[in-house]
Structure 1
Amino acid sequence: MDWNAVALAGGHVFVAGPRWTGFSGPAVALLTKNGKIEPFPDADWSGWKPRRDATHRFVSVNALHVAPDGTLWVVDTGTPSFGGVPVSGGAKLVRIDPATGHVLRIYPLGPEIAQAGSYIDDIRFNGMHAYLTDAGKAALIVLDIKTGQARRVLDNDASTRARTDRPIVMDGHVVENGLHRPLLVNVDPLEVSPDGKWLYFGPLEGPWSQVPTAFLDDPNVSSTDLSAAVQPWADLPPLGGSVMDAAGNLYFTNLKDNGVYRRDVSGKITKLISDSRLHWADAPCLALNGRLWLPVAQLDRLPMFHQGHSRSHQPFLLVSIDLR
């Protein structure tokens, strides 16, 4: 199982990985105290196959995140292949009680939201709204948690599109999605400011922008006015993932040097650690005890990026680092 997501909820550790990596294993798993991996919430949710109903099964999970109320949210891209079309009923958000495994609600993301070429990537929360990134079709998605209604905003905006002049460099080489075709990942990481007033976001390759959440939350704000409200925030390098603490410090993984960095509220960036084992450390999770959990995905070493030859170093690692 190649995991690129980790979440700590209800006293448990959960991991997940996308289907397109080619590895078998549960789409979402609970790590037991004796080191075993158990499908979560059950085996049927991880049992999707082509032509099977996808509304109550995970097709390809890209992110896990714990909402402020302690519930576990699963982001299902609905796309079984990298860059593929979401299958019918596949793209969705699943809200689960982490203690019992009870599925509390499913939020379908229909074809008008998860479009052909979409890759629903990650999620953050602010009051009764959730924000998601579409790393495939370059847009933000705003979800009304109560009604379940979703809207695409900043569609193909300059702030959500990957720039060709900022390639992803790892092991001294540009990561390519095809021969001489640099991998471009549109808007991917995102964070909400501790006061809930700003959303920070950017392509995987950077840079990051900021926009007032009040503009995102109001469906009457025009696309022109919303785009005009976007401001530069931070010139960050290509990164695997990020997490923001309650004080507004941003922790992120720098793909180029296998490093973990902190950007404080003044904008100062400090390297915390660099280790070859943290190769494409993906979306981190910050525990209440101050430990940073990192799933090490090694995504650039997958066969699809090396003419069919895997360069992954197994086993895949889940690492925690004491930041105190």
Structure 2
Amino acid sequence: MGVDDNSRLWIVDAGVTDFGGKVIAGGAKVVVVDLKSGEVIKVIPFDSSIAQEHSYIDDIRLNGKHAYLTDAGVPGIVVLDFETNKARRVLTTSPAVRAPKNRDIILSGKVVRAPDGTALRVHSDPLEVSPDGKWLYFAPLEGPWHKIETRWLDDANLPEIELVKHVEFWRDLPPAGGTVMDSKGNFYFSDLAEDSVKRIATDGTIQTIAKDTRLHWVDAPAFDNQGRLYLPAAQVDRVGLFNNGASKVERPLSVYRIDSK
């Protein structure tokens, strides 16, 4: 999700039956909601050239007249132009959007496994835009992270073979359930293996700001206008899909808050 300067909430509907499952025809879309009225003001559907078989278009970040979305099922970045409502798949040939074969997602000391029993691999998933809009940071859930200047992504005339040359390595981070960047450029991520939330300061130093078994698979952390950080403990690895159909989710589900200091 993302909120623009006009207080409109941009929501991604992956339009799939389950993670990595069959894409429902016409199901994948972006829905724009006016936060003041609560009304849906725009729906931007993705056709089969964007939401492909086994796609899982998962996350979105806004930048000027563009939005960037990740596809965790079929590796790639989707660039959406607000003015034309046209979308493009990019970086599909870059290794930076593909989950490494030698990195497992581990929580509570256990490897998260897909329904077929293999270690779960999640392609391009978390992403962030720098406060000045210059950089897009992105990664498969397992890491590592790369970055690219948004000016290259926004150029619809730049061929894929040239675009991938502008991808730069950024950081080798562990599997992250969710990320957020504050207005100063500090980068926050949930370290799944540690049930913790960490901050990468603008000087590059990393600090653990919260660690607790209740912070299990924090996903979609977000700041409010008072600088308070909200941490939804999603427990994604405990759903039935990843446990032979038997849910191990511990209720009640909770959202935690860290107040600004």
Regarding TM over 0.5, the answer is yes
Match of 2:130 among 172, 193, 203: 193
Aligned-partner residue type, residue 96 of structure 1: V
Say whether the 8 Å CA contact 2:226–2:260 is kept in structure 1: no
Residue 245 of structure 1: aligned partner:
182
Match of 2:148 among 200, 211, 218: 211
Tell me the secondary structure at the aligned position of residue 153 of structure 2: helix
Residue 4 of structure 1: aligned partner:
none
Partners of 1:211 and 1:258 in 2: CA distance: 29
List per-residue Cα deviations over 1:115-155 (Å, max 9, x = no partner).
Answer: 11100011111111110000100000000001100000011
Does residue 67 in structure 1 map to residue 1 in structure 2? Answer: no
Residue 274 of structure 1: aligned partner:
211
Partners of 1:152 and 1:232 in 2: CA distance: 20
Say whether the 8 Å CA contact 1:200–1:211 is kept in structure 2: yes
Aligned-partner residue type, residue 319 of structure 1: Y
Partners of 1:178 and 1:94 in 2: CA distance: 29
Tell me the secondary structure at the aligned position of residue 140 of structure 1: strand
The alignment's C-alpha RMSD in Å is: 1.1
Residue 111 of structure 1: aligned partner:
48
List per-residue Cα deviations over 1:73-111 (Å, max 9, x = no partner).
Answer: 110001122222221221110111012112111111111
Instruction: Report sequence identity in percent.
Output: 48
- Show the 5 A alignment for 1:302-321: 302-321=239-258
Q: Following TM superposition, by how much is the alpha carbon of 1:179 offset from its aligned partner in structure 2, in angstroms?
A: 5.6
Aligned-partner residue type, residue 118 of structure 1: S
Match of 1:134 among 71, 75, 85: 71
Match of 1:291 among 209, 228, 240: 228
Aligned-partner residue type, residue 103 of structure 1: V
Aligned-partner residue type, residue 135 of structure 2: W
Residue 166 of structure 2: aligned partner:
229
Q: Following TM superposition, by how much is the alpha carbon of 1:67 offset from its aligned partner in structure 2, in angstroms?
A: 1.8
Count of paired positions? 261
Partners of 1:294 and 1:190 in 2: CA distance: 17
Partners of 1:308 and 1:104 in 2: CA distance: 37
Partners of 1:224 and 1:230 in 2: CA distance: 11
Residue 20 of structure 2: aligned partner:
83
Q: Following TM superposition, by how much is the alpha carbon of 1:156 offset from its aligned partner in structure 2, in angstroms?
A: 4.2
Q: Unpaired runs of 5+ in structure 1?
A: 1-63
Does residue 145 in structure 1 map to residue 82 in structure 2? Answer: yes
Say whether the 8 Å CA contact 1:68–1:125 is kept in structure 2: no
- 4+ long deviations beyond 4 Å: none
Say whether the 8 Å CA contact 1:129–1:143 is kept in structure 2: yes
Partners of 1:82 and 1:123 in 2: CA distance: 17
Say whether the 8 Å CA contact 1:137–1:156 is kept in structure 2: no
Normalized against structure 2, the TM-score is what?
A: 0.97
Normalized against structure 1, the TM-score is what?
A: 0.78
Partners of 2:229 and 2:168 in 1: CA distance: 29
